[in-house]
Each structure stands twice: as structure tokens, then as C-alpha cells.
Chain A
């Protein structure tokens, strides 16, 4: 019947614009009952009550408030002490900007990763601390480290890591520095790293490491592509849940079905790479996502609250 390719006949029906014959034919179709039912139920719906008087006075209020504001603006003279206060604020902000240190800390049994102002990446191992000055970072890339950290340095000016035992200087590269209390260890993963400790001077190339104890340097080789401590956990800071689940899939070689139906939510936290059950619990339970897990390592998301 001609309804089928007409994209407004339902609108005509609602408005009562259908002819007798059209209506007769439509009433015989299977879908008529459904549409009738929908329309009947919607007719019983209601919107929240509306208090016209209240809204009108609110509107008048807004109008008079805005008038007050605009006249107030014109009349107010800036008192002279305000200039002094403003100058003090500027001085204080300037001071903070030029001299203030930025600090990052990793507590025991956790790692922290963050980006430096130039985009270089730092992974800070447990119980370590880094501080640096954000001001003019691009031309003075120097930071202080206590503990152990992994650096992925963007190409640019010289990048210097100062520790109690010595300094490490590089141009774009990846390396770790471990400067615990009685131990100084630097591993180079990419590029060239210059290690200075006391009077010792060493240049490391990729795959090489050096540990220095009591002013004795012991070079050694490493086959790792990245330090292992950075690799057994995934960390997230306000990452879309979809990305987190994708990472879970990658780490454990599983498939999670239904993840594309999840509402947007952000996950902050970490999961271990060594215990799947625990990792699933970590991610899904905290996000209140119900899921099933079968023998074929398929995870199915059931419902998202």
C-alpha cells in the first residue's frame, strides 16, 4: 500500500488529516495497534508543574539585577590601595613562577608517571621524588632526583638529571637512573647518555648500563627494551573506560564484548599485568560494570550502572 513509501502518513494520522479510506486501511495494518498504544500512553504523560508567577518575578529580578550591575560598574572607583594589592599579587605570582619548584613523588609500592613541560615522559618508581622549575624549562632542562626513575626525553636542549651521587646529561633519549641511598645506577635504552659522578665520566650507548658504588664504576649490558619495573603494571589517570578496557585486552590477550556500549566514564588507577582476575576486578568493580568471564577468556559486559 502507498503508506510504505510515504514518510509523513503517521503525522497525517495524528493530526486527523487522513481520509476515511486511508484510515480504514491503516487501521487494518499490524502496526496500527502499536502506534495507537504509544500515542495513548504519551497522552497521559505530563511535564513538571510550571509556576508562571514565580518565573515572571524571577525574570524581573534578573532584569533589575543586571541594571544594578551595569550601573555599579560605572560608579565604582578603584581605591588606590587596590593598586598596591594588585602589585603585591603580581610580585607574588612572579616569584612563584620564577622560583617555585614543581614536585612529583611516588609513594611506596606505587609508581607515578607524568610529563615534563616539554612533553618528556617520566616514570617514577616507588618511594622516589623529582623536583624541577617549570619556568624556562625548554632551555634549562634540569631536575633533581632522589630514588629511581625512567625518562623518555624529547629531543631538545641538554637534559640533566642531578642526584646526590652525580649528574646524568643527555639529548633526546630513554634511560633510567637509580640513585638510592648507597647505590647509583644508570641504564641507557636509546640515544647517548653522559654519566658524571665525582671525577668519573662515562658515556653510555643503548643497551649499556653502569653502576657506581664507592667511586668504582662497573659497566654492564642489558637486553631489556624498557626497565621491567615499568612494565608489569598499567597506569591510568582519567582515561576513558573504553581505552582502559582496550589496554586490558592487549595485556591479557582477551576480548571484552559490549565495551562500545558503555557510557563515557573515566578511570583513574592501575591494573597488574600478572593477575587477570584481579585486574578485571580492579577495573570493572570500581566502575560498577557487571561482567561475565568464561573459560575461553571471553569477557562479556552485561550491564553498566
Chain B
């Protein structure tokens, strides 16, 4: 029904779009550049552009429009430097019900994993972390990035294979 269509130009709708997508977009850029402040800045810019072009962007297209904007802004502004994502020092939930050996291994393992994640290709990293940390389904990721589900699966698979081969402990 055309008259029930939402318009992004309405502030209420705009806010709704923001609340639904801004965090994931922030993290999506964060996985690429490793700088939370910069990721937030680029995310805000994407929403500013969405607002400026609200008349041209139908509500259903807003999401992929935002991802494209944020991604382009990232490509334009951020040099393709290697990323070390700093893990929060939150107490890991899995540690509590695992054996002491696991806890010990996990600790020293995290550092190595950080490095291995940084060494993934940018394409593998964004897809892998969107799935693992943002809990996005392959289909959702495929829509966000405008690629096929098969391509997402290949990147996920490639990321795991690469992580395993990067981590020295497994080579023993």
C-alpha cells in the first residue's frame, strides 16, 4: 500500500532507522578500521547523508544505502592499514565453566588471536566478525554487502582456515 509507506524524511522514522542500524554499522566499520571513534564518525556521516537524501531513498532501501555510504566513506578516508582489534578486558563468560587449563590457554591464546584476526583480509574480517560477534546471519550479511550468500560462506570458511593456520599453537 503506497499510503502506508514510511518516509525516512519523518524524524520519527529516521530515528527508528538509526536505532535499528547504527550500532551494527558502527561495528561493521570498526571491524575494518579498528578505531571506534572514527567508525562512529563515519556512521554519523552516513546518517547525515541519508537525511539529506531522504526523499530519494525509500524506507526499505535505507539499510543497504547506509552500508554502501559507510563503506565508501571508509574506503575514501581510511588507509588500508592493518587492524588490531583491541578486545575488551571483560571477563569472558565461557571461562567460568571451563577447566583451569582452558582458562589458562584462553588467556595467552587471545593475544595471538588478535594478531591473526588483524591478518585476515578486510573482506574476511568484516564478514567473520559480523557473523560471530554481531550474530548476523549469512543472508543478512550478503544483503548488507551486496554479495551472494555463497560468497559470504566462502569468506567465513576462508577466515577460519586462515585463523587456524596463523595460530602457532596449532602447528605443534
Q: Does A79 contact B (CB under 8 A)?
A: no
Q: Chain A: how many interface residues by the 8 Å CB criterion?
A: 32
Give Cα distance in the complex from A42 to B163, angstroms. Answer: 11
Q: Is the interface of A mostly helix, strand, loop or mixed?
A: helix
Determine the residue in chain B with the shortest Cβ distance to A33: B170
CA distance A55 to B138 in the complex (A): 27
In-complex Cβ contact of B113 among A10, A12, A42, A56 (8 A): A42
User: What does DSSP make chain B's interface, helix, strand, loop or mixed?
Assistant: helix
Residue with the highest number of chain B CB atoms closer than 10 Å, among A15, A42, A52: A42
Q: B88 to A48, Cβ gap below 8 A?
A: yes
The smallest beta-carbon distance between A305 and chain B, in angstroms, is: 14
Chain B residues with CB under 8 Å of chain A are 15, 18-19, 22-23, 26-27, 30, 36, 40, 43-45, 47-48, 51-52, 85, 87-88, 90, 92-95, 105-106, 109-110, 113, 131-133, 137-138, 150, 152-154, 156-158, 160-161, 163-164, 167, 170
Expressed in whole angstroms, the Cα–Cα distance for A39 and B117 within the complex equals: 12
Cβ B23 vs Cβ A62 within 8 A: no
- Asked if B154 and A11 make an inter-chain contact with CB atoms under 8 angstroms apart, the answer reads yes
Q: Which of B27, B106, B156 has the most CB of A within 10 A?
A: B156
Pair A46/B133 contact, Cβ less than 8 Å:
yes
Chain A residue numbers with a CB within 8 Å of B164 are 31, 34-35, 38
10 closest A-B pairs (Cβ-Cβ)? A44-B92, A11-B153, A8-B153, A11-B156, A46-B88, A48-B36, A10-B157, A59-B44, A10-B160, A59-B47
Closest chain A residue to B109 by CB distance?
Answer: A41
Interface residues of A (CB under 8 A from B): 7-12, 14-15, 31, 34-35, 37-48, 50, 52, 55-56, 58-59, 62-63, 66
Are B158's CB and A47's CB within 8 A?
no
How far is A7 from B154 in the complex, measured between Cα atoms in Å? 6
CB-CB under 8 A from B27, the residues of chain A are 47, 50
Contact across chains for A55 and B163 when beta carbons are under 8 A apart: no
Of all chain B residues, which has the CB nearest A30?
B170
Contact (A34, B22) CB under 8 Å given A40-B94, A41-B106: no
Given A11-B152, A35-B164, A55-B26, A47-B45 contact (CB < 8 Å): no
The listed residue (A38, A47, A48) touching B160 by CB distance below 8 A is A38
Residues in chain A near residue B26, CB distance under 8 A: 50, 55
Cα(A11)–Cα(B128), bound, Å: 10
Known A-B contacts: A10-B160, A38-B113, A63-B52. Give 8 more (CB < 8 A): A8-B156, A44-B90, A44-B95, A50-B22, A56-B19, A56-B22, A59-B47, A66-B48
B131 touches A44 (CB 8 A): no
Give the residues in chain B near A48, CB-CB below 8 Å: 30, 36, 88
Q: How far is the CB of B25 from chain A (nearest CB, A)?
A: 10
> B residues within 8 A CB of A46?
87-88, 90, 133
Distance, CA A218 to CA B49, complexed state (A): 76
Give complex CA distance A47, B87 in Å.
Answer: 7
Bound-complex Cα distance A286 to B68 (A): 43
Cα A7 to Cα B124 in complex, Å, equals 13
Q: Which residues of A contact B48 (CB under 8 A)?
A: 59, 62-63, 66
